Amino acid sequence: MPANILLVEDEPAIQELIAANLARAGHHVVRAADAETAQRIVRDALPDLVLLDWMLPGMSGIEFARRLRADERTREIPIIMLTARGEEQDKVSGLEIGADDYITKPFSPRELVARIKAVLRRRAPQATEDAVTIGELRLDPATHRVSAGDRPVNLGPTEFRLLHFLMTHPERVHSRAQLLDQVWGDHVFVEERTVDVHIRRLRGALEPTGCDRFIQTVRGSGYRFSAQADHSDTSR
């Protein structure tokens, strides 16, 4: 599944090479030549992943990564550091501030695409094309199909994205605001109760298969996807 990747790199030739290869791999790339520009981009819309050069004019990549991790809104964005600094201590410093991976220049485009795929699978599985199966329910992003056993489930695009996010983050409680950010995008301004409407539609589509029970309401908190038996603090 295409990911929205923010590339923060100040060398034009390297920026162009990376962007071209990521686009060829199917990703959507937004570019920034410095951390200040990247901050404004992130303020408008959250990317699925940040590719961040260590050495940047003005604010360093390390400082920008530190700010992303310190902000509740951006702390979960996966970060891959790009740098010519290959010393062990430099790598440790990058990982200690919260980077998910560290690639030393020069690197091959194939390695970069593979590293991105691995980080997204680990940190943002909803941004990959990997099929997800929990209990009898299976969702395949590549074919945009959902099934329960041998029974197909027909979902609208928003319900599909909502189910995909919930299935890739099972057993966690997500508030309405978190679901709006992750499924609709944090730059889209809609009422939180919109989530309730789509949860009802999703449950209605799943009800004939019995899988609607997987989507649990946690009173006062939000929603959780769980194939386990209902918990005492939840209600349909």
For residue 231, what pLDDT is reported? 47
User: Does residue 30 register a pLDDT over 80?
Assistant: yes
User: Does residue 150 register a pLDDT over 50?
Assistant: yes
Token pair belonging to 214: 């997987």
5: which strand partners?
29, 49
Token pair belonging to 230: 């209902």
Q: Is the separation of the CB atoms in 74 and 42 below 8 Å? A: yes
For residue 130, what pLDDT is reported? 82
User: Does residue 139 register a pLDDT over 90?
Assistant: yes
Q: With bands split at pLDDT 50, 70 and 90, how would you rate the model's confidence at 154?
A: very high
pLDDT digits (tens, 9 = 90+) for 65-98: 999 999 888 888 899 998 876 666 666 776 777 8
Share of the chain above pLDDT 70, in %: 88
Domains of the chain, first to last? 4-127 (3.40.50.2300), 132-235 (1.10.10.10)
For residue 205, what pLDDT is reported? 95
For residue 218, what pLDDT is reported? 92
pLDDT digits (tens, 9 = 90+) for 39-48: 999 988 888 8
Report field, pTM of the whole predicted structure over 0.95: no
The string of DSSP letters for the chain reads ---EEEEE---HHHHHHHHHHHHHTT-EEEEESSHHHHHHHHHH---SEEEEESS-SSS-HHHHHHHHHHSTTTTTS-EEEEES---HHHHHHHHHTT-SEEEESS--HHHHHHHHHHHHHHH-GGGS---EEETTEEEETTTTEEEETTEEE---HHHHHHHHHHHHSTT-EE-HHHHIIIIIITT----THHHHHHHHHHHHHHGGGTGGGGEEEETTTEEEE-SSPPPTTEE-
pLDDT digits (tens, 9 = 90+) for 175-229: 988 888 778 875 556 678 889 999 999 999 999 999 999 999 999 899 999 987 5
Q: How far apart are CA 15 and CA 17, in angstroms?
A: 6
